[in-house]
Amino acid sequence: MFSATANDLRYSLRALLARPGFSAVAVLTLALGIGANTAIFSVMHGLFLAPLPYAHGERLVDVYNTYPTSSLQYAGTSIPDYLDRREQAQSLEDLALYTGANLNLAEDGQPPERLVGLRATPSLFSTLSSGAALGRVFDERHAEPGQDKVAVISHALWRNRFNADPGVIGRSLRLSGETYQVIGVMPEDFGFPSRETQLWVPFAFTPEQRGDFERGNEYSQSIGRLRKGATIAQLDAELDAIVARNAERIAGIGGLDPAMAEQAARFAEFLRGGNFTGRAQSLRELQVGETRPLVLILQGAVALVLLIAAANVANLLLARMVSRQKELSVRNALGASRGRIARQLLSESLIVALAGGAAGLLLALGLIELLPRLGLDAAVGRYPITLDLPVLGFALAVSIATGLLAALVPVVSLFRSDLARQINDAGRIGGGGRVAGASRNLLVVAQMALATALLVGAGLLLRSFVSLQQESPGFEPGGTLTAQLALPGNRFPDTASRARLLDEVLREARALPGIEHAAWTSSLPFANSNSQGSYSIDGLEVADASASPHANQRQISDDFFASLRIPLLQGRTFTPGDHGEAEPVVVIDQLLAEKYFKDQPAIGQRIRRGRDAPWATVVGVVGTVKHGSLRDTPGKETIYWPHRQNLGGFGALVLRGPNALAPDTADALRTALGRVDAELPLFNVLSMQQRIALSLDTQRAPMNLVGGFAGVALLLSAIGIYAVLAFSVSQRTGELGVRMAIGAGRREILGLVLGHGARLVAIGLGIGVGLALMLGQLAKAQLFGVAPWDPLTFVAVPPLLAAIALLACWLPARRAARIDPLVALRYE
């Protein structure tokens, strides 16, 4: 058996080398399909299948707060909630809390640099089962205020900033105005929560942060490790039980203080009303997020390309089998069984497929490098995408499967034919007989149908992307430069000191040439930052068991609305008179005004954040803006507070003016910032239009990639129908010569061949449109402003494909019409 197989392979290889043109076309055709599938599968494997880079990563979960009645499904975690769960959740083996830390590194002689940091409890490293590669990680001793000025740095920061110096352990760093000691360097492959994180510092809780009044202050995230055998459902049930116990405990707080007792009772009733609980999800689900449907769409698209490529190669193999009809008949007459001949055809197909797979791997390497430029980087940035062993195994499996699939039609055609009568049948009918001809026609129809579905899908995504780009964000992004900035809380501990610093920064920015407006906001639209919170409206009664209104919360400077040209609809915006000693004021957006003040004036209403905060008077109503994505319909209102009355430490600058986007403006702004405070770095400097463009990556990536694959499918389909008709013409040369000899004109011959091709194209288009309608429903969630049955797309794409396909039909038809009858009869 082994000897026979080896002989088949040797004979097949010689036969393929004897026809280098056929072999090269078949190999390159499969390389396109296999390479594209391998590249996209490498993304799918990295995101969904490869083990997380932590020991027993499948047991890691994200634990978070949720407010079901406030439409706030994911709210982070507060410190007391974390402490409750670490002590009481039996399904958790370990639990850690972490939050972003914007740390400004300042060293003598070097400009300040913003480091991407993480403030984390020491349990982060035990939860992830990770230790330091050099030195050590921090422990519980460092989780106390005053003992927390130590840092663990990433391998990349150690290599790039400190030249991989082992002496960095024990070195002092000035971070945001305070001195930290480096105690460890993490391994090269460690990166949590992303590979961009550069250092980790301890999260030390104050006694106030541990108390019940800190509940609801959810600026952190929590990661846990399930005990062996525990499930997320069990953990969710335990989180519900913790909330129930807290409700009973808090209901008894207050003692002799009536006000505190009333507040505790209201909060306990709020908890009992199902307005708040905790939930868990797998860490992979958290990190992959909305990427799953995107990658599945791309994998489906390249699978269609591979099917078209396989159909093309099947047609080539079928044509080659027909051209070898005499040889195969003679071999059959000499005793070779159909099985032996089929094995020979299968060997040739597998050799072609494996060669195509090898060439496809080279193509896949190039595609993987190209994917970030096509918009997929935002989706896969957390995971290394490489051609590792599982991906190589996938490429091998796909190559073998494609070889078997491509050989299927020729082999079936072989077993359904009578080899003894093939020569006569081929001469009488042309093209190798009825079975072979029907098989070729079926393959062409399949190619056209798949290409139609893919092209319609690409058209829908293109129309969706264009519709999305035309969507207004609620402000004018053109002509604005933005940059993020962190104000160190240790050097500027209160609103007054931060406001004075910020006012100086804004004065310097407005003084730059060609800058008309300079403003600050705590949360910049399309910058992946947000702040939300509950609030109260004077006169609006909320039942004890119901949730308070919930809104996006922004701290802004006077010039913010003018900088982004957010329209003022009622009242006024902020002025320098809205300082810390003045009456508290607030500006709301149109969504809030229509939701709660539809039948009364919004100006003069009072709002406050928190039950103990002073009431702030509404002095203005502005237009509603989109914050994170152009495809979102704003469903949560926004409240704007003046920065002199309420200011945190992190936010962004917005500059507008004729020179805002000039090449030297960012450097001039850094210089101006240095005059105010030499330790404040400017980072993430982008125009607002660039930020919006980055937010469109999840729509741009499938459009670019599916469009590219659809182009490949169209090319393969056109080549396929051309090859079938050209082969048919060559096989029917004698027949066509006879027709012309007895009076058929060139027009009739042209119509005969063109009509054959047109029928195949029409059937394929019809089936493809039906398939596109079904696939459009599956991709409905990825479309914006376009229906899955969009008339314009379905009217425009099929005629375009038909025109290209008919051009491919016309070329062999023209060749047939130019046949000389005498030459054709001599050929016969």
Q: What is the pLDDT of residues 271-314, one digit of tens each?
A: 888 888 999 999 888 877 767 777 778 888 888 888 888 888 88
Q: What is the pLDDT of residues 304-360, one digit of tens each?
A: 888 888 888 887 777 776 666 666 665 656 555 666 777 777 888 888 888 988 998
Name the most confidently modeled range: 89-98, 192-201, 253-262: 89-98
Stronger pLDDT, 60 or 744, i.e. the higher one:
60
Per-residue pLDDT at 334: 59
> Can you tell me the mean pLDDT for 217-229?
93
Q: Read off the pLDDT band of 822 (50, 70, 90).
A: low
DSSP summary character for residue 517:
E
Instruction: List the one residue out of 267, 290, 338, 305 whose CA is nearest residue 35.
Output: 305
Element spanning 695, H or E: helix 688-695
Least confident window among 139-143, 461-465, 540-544, 589-593: 540-544
> Does the pLDDT at position 202 exceed 90?
yes
Distance CA 744, CA 657 (A): 75
Stronger pLDDT, 48 or 382, i.e. the higher one:
48
Cis previous bond, 193, omega within 30 = yes
At residue 747's C-alpha, the angle toward residues 741 and 750, to 5°, is 95
Positive or negative, the Cα torsion across 372, 375, 379, 381?
positive
Q: What is the dihedral of CA 715, 716, 718, 723, to 10 degrees?
A: 140
On average, the pLDDT of the chain sits at 84
> Does the pLDDT at position 226 exceed 80?
yes
Percent of the chain with pLDDT over 90: 34
Contacts of 168 (CB under 8 A, 6+ apart): 134, 153, 158, 162, 182, 185
Distance of CA 719 to the CA centre of its chain: 33
Distance CA 378, CA 698 (A): 7
Pairing of strands 585-589, 638-642: antiparallel
Per-residue pLDDT at 690: 93
Stronger pLDDT, 378 or 102, i.e. the higher one:
102
Single-letter amino acid, residue 223: I
Per-residue pLDDT at 426: 45
Contacts of 403 (CB under 8 A, 6+ apart): 346, 349, 350, 351, 352, 353, 354
- 129 sits in the region (left: phi over 0; alpha: psi -120 to 50; else beta) called left
> Does the pLDDT at position 670 exceed 80?
yes
Residue with tokens 């001469």: 427
Distance CA 315, CA 320 (A): 8
What is the token pair recorded at 373? 């430029």
Single-letter amino acid, residue 481: L
Q: What is the pLDDT of residues 783-817, one digit of tens each?
A: 888 888 888 888 888 888 888 888 888 877 777 67
Instruction: List the one residue out of 675, 679, 656, 681 whose CA is nearest residue 557.
Output: 656
Exposed e or buried b per residue across 274-283, where buried means at least 16 C-beta atoms within 10 angstroms of its C-beta: ebbbbbbebb
> Does the pLDDT at position 730 exceed 90?
no
Stronger pLDDT, 363 or 374, i.e. the higher one:
363
Q: Read off the pLDDT band of 232 (50, 70, 90).
A: very high
Q: Read off the pLDDT band of 428 (50, 70, 90).
A: very low
> Can you tell me the mean pLDDT for 231-256?
86
Per-residue pLDDT at 821: 61
> Does the pLDDT at position 430 exceed 50?
no
Single-letter amino acid, residue 825: L
Q: Are 185 and 152 in contact (CB under 8 A)?
A: yes
Q: What is the pLDDT of residues 631-659, one digit of tens each?
A: 888 888 999 999 999 888 889 999 999 99
Q: Are 723 and 431 in contact (CB under 8 A)?
A: no
Beta bridge partners of 115: 103
Single-letter amino acid, residue 745: G
Instruction: Supply the pTM of this predicted model.
Output: 0.79
Least confident window among 306-315, 469-478, 519-528: 306-315
Distance CA 266, CA 259 (A): 11
Distance CA 651, CA 21 (A): 63
